[in-house]
Structure 1
């Protein structure tokens, strides 16, 4: 992280000591695996910048345990809405089309079927006077798309028990990301028309096309490339970006076999413990 960007977020924390206190609570919940009580939570997160400051604080403090930032999650509430994002530790990534999920890794299993993109080359240097990377520059770094399942979790005792920005600061409820084999013809993928089917223990729970509230995920990826640079975690070769749920979030019990079928991207299964 560059000193300029790091100082920006350190300053945000210094201006509101409650943010650091919240970050310490999140770190304690991760360390002890004891959730934060949902009732009576005393801290506020009023802006996206505050949420990002807490995310950065937790990411850097937890890196020795869970590895550095090697992925991002990004989403938006509508096709026109400003995206939001959270960095993801290496230690929460799983790759493969058939995964036996480890025990005691997540407390809750909120399942989301998503599309992941892999970064295959560094972004070019910005030209003099250029403030942001263009869509063409960002898309030129993508090498593949993948079927994916994000497992949503929370460091609170109850999911969605707090203001959305409070949960956003908690890595946007990230638990784990499982992504399958590469689909190299990603330029011809039309996410808004991609069929998706989600099954739990052989029973179909979701079957439709598209489904992502953000619409085109590539516009979010372009936004994210610039956002991640500002945050001090620029895209690196091999990084992956998951671009939001195609189905909302469905919570399932432990022991569930989750199967996701995308029309072009293929099949991904996860056996939950």
Structure 2
């Protein structure tokens, strides 16, 4: 693990405590990491402190709309945890969610490692490392209140608001291409968002390639069995208690979530 400063240690401890206690914190300005690299080092330190079994990674900022909303130059990512993986249909209690946002994504699980090496990975090599792809919804959460969000590096330190991961059906024909798959997101039966796989960097497997390169350069790579959520085709939609969520991935899969009061 990369060495971190005293301020980064303090932030990592604060975020680990918030994760354990399902709580939010208002961050002092002096704890905001100075750089993106510092922020990702804090996220790694948070995972070390928690000691939770990793699920894999989330990627965000993979569409023009989301990058514009968050004022991003490119995608961002964060560590995810297996204790927050579940299957559709799923029920959550509103009180246990932190400013939840619904994001319709593909969940890609690796069959083999993509370890660090000198030469860059190719898209074809990345695709060959895939074991399976599921339709998915991330219920993104943030350890900072939505009404008082700190600058972006602090959000990266919090795993880019990684939350809960609701797995839908396996996409059996994913090798035939995911770019053309339509996605419709309904709340209480009303269509609220729609998109298509190509909205995510032209092909929703390209973010996996991007992440493999990021982690190759970091020095640890990606590992077999990790699941990567590759970015939302439907943006970020806030939900509240009493609502029912349904996402339709063409004819391939449907995911349902109920948020109980």
How far apart, CA to CA, are the structure 1 residues paired with 2:113 and 2:134? 20
- Tell me by how many angstroms 1:264 deviates: 4.8
Structure 2 unaligned segments of length 5 or more: list them.
Answer: 68-72
User: Is residue 64 of structure 2 the alignment partner of residue 72 of structure 1?
Assistant: no
TM-score, length of structure 2 as denominator length: 0.86
Match of 2:121 among 133, 136, 159: 133
Q: Distance in 1 between matches of 2:209 and 2:32?
A: 30
User: Which residue does 1:35 correspond to in 2?
Assistant: 24
Q: Is the 8 A contact 1:114 1:148 kept in 2?
A: yes
Is residue 2:76 matched to residue 1:84? yes
- Number of residues paired by the alignment? 253
Alignment counterpart, residue 93 of structure 1, candidates 82, 85, 88: 85
Q: Is the 8 A contact 1:46 1:165 kept in 2?
A: yes
Change (3 A) 1:173 1:121: same
Cα deviation code 1:136-174 (max 9, x no counterpart): 221101122211111111111335621122111111011
| Cα displacement string for residues 106-148 of structure 1 (whole angstroms, at most 9, x for unaligned residues) | 222211111111212334895xxx4222222211011222111
1:86-121 Cα shifts (integer Å, max 9, x gaps): 111111212x23122366542222111111112123
Residue 26 (structure 1) aligns with: 15
Report if aligned partners of 2:13, 2:49 keep a CA contact under 8 Å in 1.
Answer: no
Report the CA distance shift for 1:82/1:159 in structure 2 as closer, same or farther (over 3 A): same
For the aligned residues, what is the CA RMSD? 2.5
Bigger mean CA deviation after superposition, 97-106 or 67-76: 97-106
User: Aligned partners of 2:138, 2:25: CA distance in 1, in Å?
Assistant: 22
Q: Trace 1:98-113 onto structure 2 (pairs within 5 A).
A: 98-101=89-92, 104-113=95-104
Relative to structure 1, the CA distance from residue 210 to residue 122 in structure 2 (aligned partners, 3 Å threshold; closer, same or farther) is closer
Contact kept, 8 Å, 2:198 with 2:204, in 1: the verdict is no
User: For the Cα contact (< 8 Å) 1:146–1:265, is it kept in 2?
Assistant: no
Give the C-alpha shift of residue 83 in structure 1.
3.0
Query: 1:203 matched to which residue of 2?
Result: 190
1:62 aligns with 2:50: yes
3-state SS, counterpart of residue 151 of structure 1 = strand
Q: 1:181 aligns with which of 169, 177, 189?
A: 169
CA 1:138–1:211: 2 relative to 1, 3 Å: closer
Distance in structure 2 (CA, Å) of the matches to 1:148 and 1:183? 10
**d(CA) in 2 for partners of 1:101, 1:72:** 22
